[in-house]
Amino acid sequence: MKTMRPAPDLSKPRLTTSAMIASIASEGQRTAPAPFGHALVELARQRADVIGMTADLGKYTDLHIFAKEFPDRHYQMGMAEQLLFGAASGLAAEGFMPFATTYAVFASRRAYDFIHQTIAEEDRNVKIACALPGLTSGYGPSHQAAEDLALFRAMPNMTVIDPCDAHEIAQVVPAIAAHQGPVYMRLLRGQVPLVLDEYDYKFELGKARLLRDGRDVLMISSGLMTMRALEAAAALSDDRVHVAVLHVPTIKPLDTETILREAGRSGRLVVVAENHTVIGGLGEAVAGLLMRSGVHVPFRQIGLPDAFLDAGALPTLHDRYGLSRSEVVRQVKEWLG
Amino acid sequence: MDTATTLRVNAPTLAQRAYNIRRNAIRMGEVQGQGYIAQALDISDVLAVAYFHAMRYRPEDPDWEERDRFLLSNGHYAIALYAALIEAGIIPEAELETYGSDDSRLPMSGMASYTPGMEMSGGSLGLGLSIAVGMGLGLKRKNSSSRVYTLFSDGELDEGSVWEAISSASHYRLDNLIAIVDVNNQQADGPSRQVMGFEPLVARLEAFGWFVQRVDGNDLDAVVAAFDTARTHEAPKPRMIVADTLMGKGVPFLEQREKNHFIRVEPHEWQLALAALDAGRP
């Protein structure tokens, strides 16, 4: 018999699950609209081989902006992710560069074999851009891609990118176009936070970048957790805890040189923070690297538990699973004693 | 220029081509001591027509941009396609003896990066038609007159992805796509129609918007006519040739053997198979 959840306490106030297309930006945060869609339009103006494809999620991956601008270069494949990626392989075989979009859950879990065999194994020049990475939906496990990075990291030939914000997404698009070969890119869509533009930041494929330095803690992070790491670092500095933040947007291939150099600076607690299950993502990639390289440092992970995550409101869930700014601060303080 | 138009008067007949393909396949089966030889024998006539009547290609330049594409979705039929590619002069005959061996360009399951003339990595069944849809779209974008041919097996009709591709090929009116389904009524766990029924196949495919012909896939004249009609038909629809074939065709004792997806052939039987095939040599 299945175990049911207890009925809720109706007397308590509660947040509601946000709509699928809601922004992950916090209130008052600077944002930019649809950075992926606009960057792809810009790229397509320069490169005639760029094609946009989706499986009934154009509006939800910001591809609709491209579709409106270049209707004859856009293919709607219907709600059929296996077809989407197989057809993307076929278009790539004919010399085109498809950007194929869907949700991260569907690319990683439903169409994995198609991506593995028709794109990665054949080394086709397909760019896979997926919205709702990690825990960015309150809809429950059907829409929460907690394991996408682990799955695509394990796939030979695949380059894996987890950008932080709108500034970075706009730069990732031309950068992966300049790279010949399959790429999996996580996508934040809609009103996307702007963070890295204040750090004189430029995305380079395969490069990690130290965004701030600090002598007590080295936070290694990717995706939206870099935003949280920076916020937490600012909060912790008020308590005289000095946190360095190393942003690692390219999960594979990993920038081993920069990670080893920063982690090898003695005396710091190393914390890897990722919007992903603690299994198989950036945390374990860094841990394995450090172990193999003989760098023995205090090491902790901030990430999603090995569990089917709850449905609910994102702020609630990010608190519950340790991804919110306040939870990052709390965990770091706890580890420092 | 079509290959067919370049054939000399004294060029081998299609029956001789089909015989040579079968012979190459049996010789490869002998090298490996096993293989999907019954499927290779059943599809040799279709491959003879594809490579020596219908398709446009240059043996010395397998990646020629103007070629017709041939996608082998059922990767375990690689032994048959290698046999045809050898006959077509795309793979040297001397490589035949490396089939399925270490460092061979002819692995047991077909892969694009291994073999000249192999356009996709099949084997995980149900992939080919999706790739064919993308190639068909791509060729249309390039205003190319090349066609995409794809061969798949009746067992693959179990895969939902095949029907995703069937829907989309029709939606996009891919009249440059010619798919051939080998109905030998055999898949891994038994007769295909018992494993998962797929009839009435013509009616189903027509309902999905395809132009469909059903032929005896071991009747060369009928196969030629089907390929010709598929190429010249005017409706803006993808084209399907449903080819009913006989496992082990051309080697009577294999035709009569209890049908198995992975047919057992004893070591001494390979020579018997060649002898039986040679007895019916055209």
**Domains in chain A with CATH codes:** 32-193 (3.40.50.970), 206-336 (3.40.50.920)
Q: What value does the mean pLDDT of chain B take? A: 94
The region, left, alpha or beta by phi > 0 then psi within -120 to 50, assigned to residue A293 is: alpha
A85 touches chain B (CB under 8 A): yes
The confidence score (pLDDT) of residue A266 equals: 80
CA atoms of A275 and B95, how far apart (whole Å)? 50
User: Looking at CA atoms only, how far is residue A97 from chain B in angstroms?
Assistant: 10
CATH number, domain with residue B256: 3.40.50.970
Per CB-CB distance under 8 Å, the chain A contacts of B172 are: 75
B132 touches chain A (CB under 8 A): yes
* A178: number of Cβ within 10 Å: 10
Select the residue of A91, A113, A121 nearest B138 (Cβ to Cβ). A91
Q: Least CA distance to A72: which residue of chain B?
A: B141
User: Looking at CA atoms only, how far is residue A140 from chain B in angstroms?
Assistant: 25
Per CB-CB distance under 8 Å, the chain B contacts of A82 are: 126, 130, 160-161, 164
Buried-state track A142-169, b at ≥16 Cβ within 10 A, e below 16: ebbbbbbbbbbbebeebbbbbbbbbbbb
* B33: number of Cβ within 10 Å: 11
User: Looking at CA atoms only, how far is residue A285 from chain B in angstroms?
Assistant: 29
Mean pLDDT, residues B243-272 taken together? 89
The confidence score (pLDDT) of residue A1 equals: 65
Alpha-carbon distances of A63 from A212, A249, B21, B51, rounded to whole Å: 33, 22, 48, 41
CA atoms of A41 and A15, how far apart (whole Å)? 36
The confidence score (pLDDT) of residue A23 equals: 73
Mean pLDDT, residues B120-131 taken together? 96
**Tens digit of each residue's pLDDT (9 = 90 or more) over A40-61:** 999 999 999 999 999 999 999 9
Residue A20 in this model has a pLDDT that exceeds 70:
no
User: Secondary structure of A32-49 in the HEC alphabet?
Assistant: EECHHHHHHHHHHHHCCC
A75 touches chain B (CB under 8 A): yes
Mean pLDDT, residues A213-234 taken together? 98
- Interchain CB contacts (distance < 8 Å): A and B: 96
Residue B26 in this model has a pLDDT that exceeds 80:
yes
A48 touches chain B (CB under 8 A): no
Q: Least CA distance to B143: which residue of chain A?
A: A94
Residue B262 in this model has a pLDDT that exceeds 90:
no
The confidence score (pLDDT) of residue A106 equals: 98
CA atoms of A232 and A212, how far apart (whole Å)? 12
Residue A109 carries which DSSP code?
A: I
Per CB-CB distance under 8 Å, the chain A contacts of B167 are: 78, 80
The confidence score (pLDDT) of residue A333 equals: 97
Interface test with B, best of A79, A116, A117 (most B CBs within 10 A): A117
Residue B6 in this model has a pLDDT that exceeds 60:
no
User: Looking at CA atoms only, how far is residue B272 from chain A in angstroms?
Assistant: 38
B200 touches chain A (CB under 8 A): no
The three-class DSSP label of residue B110 is coil
**Tens digit of each residue's pLDDT (9 = 90 or more) over A138-165:** 999 999 999 999 999 999 999 999 999 9
Residue A114 in this model has a pLDDT that exceeds 60:
yes
**Tens digit of each residue's pLDDT (9 = 90 or more) over B138-160:** 999 999 999 999 999 999 999 99
Instruction: Note whether A86 contacts B129, CB cutoff 8 Å.
Output: yes
Residue A108 carries which DSSP code?
A: I
CA atoms of B8 and B11, how far apart (whole Å)? 5
The confidence score (pLDDT) of residue B1 equals: 45
**Tens digit of each residue's pLDDT (9 = 90 or more) over A247-300:** 999 999 999 999 999 999 988 999 999 999 999 999 999 999 999 999 999 999
Per CB-CB distance under 8 Å, the chain B contacts of A123 are: 113
A93 touches chain B (CB under 8 A): yes
CA atoms of B123 and B111, how far apart (whole Å)? 8
Instruction: Note whether A80 contacts B134, CB cutoff 8 Å.
Output: no
A118 touches chain B (CB under 8 A): yes
Instruction: Note whether A92 contacts B134, CB cutoff 8 Å.
Output: yes
The three-class DSSP label of residue B266 is coil
The region, left, alpha or beta by phi > 0 then psi within -120 to 50, assigned to residue A200 is: left
Residue A331 tokens, joined: 């965990």
User: Looking at CA atoms only, how far is residue A126 from chain B in angstroms?
Assistant: 12
> Does the interface predicted TM-score (ipTM) exceed 0.85?
yes
**Tens digit of each residue's pLDDT (9 = 90 or more) over A198-219:** 999 999 999 999 999 999 999 9
> Residue with structure tokens 């909060």?
A235
Sorted by sequence, the CB contacts under 8 Å of residue A48 that are 6+ apart come out as none
Helices marked H in chain A — which ranges? 35-46, 63-69, 81-93, 104-105, 112-114, 148-153, 166-177, 224-237, 256-263, 282-292, 314-320, 325-336
Q: What value does the mean pLDDT of chain A take? A: 96
Instruction: Note whether B130 contacts A91, CB cutoff 8 Å.
Output: no
Residue B274 carries which DSSP code?
A: H
Burial of A320 (0-12, 13-18, 19+ CB in 10 A): middle
**Number of structural domains found in chain B:** 1
Contact between A169 and A132 under an 8 Å Cβ cutoff? The reply is no
Local confidence band at B9 (pLDDT 50, 70, 90 cut-offs): low
The three-class DSSP label of residue B279 is helix
- For residue B89, the enclosing domain spans 3-279
Per CB-CB distance under 8 Å, the chain A contacts of B134 are: 86-94, 98
CA atoms of A234 and A207, how far apart (whole Å)? 24
Contact between A36 and A171 under an 8 Å Cβ cutoff? The reply is no
Contact between B100 and B53 under an 8 Å Cβ cutoff? The reply is no
Cβ within 8 Å of B, A 237-276:
none
Mean pLDDT, residues B178-191 taken together? 95
CA atoms of A226 and A274, how far apart (whole Å)? 8
CA dihedral B89, B91, B92, B96 (to 10 degrees): -120
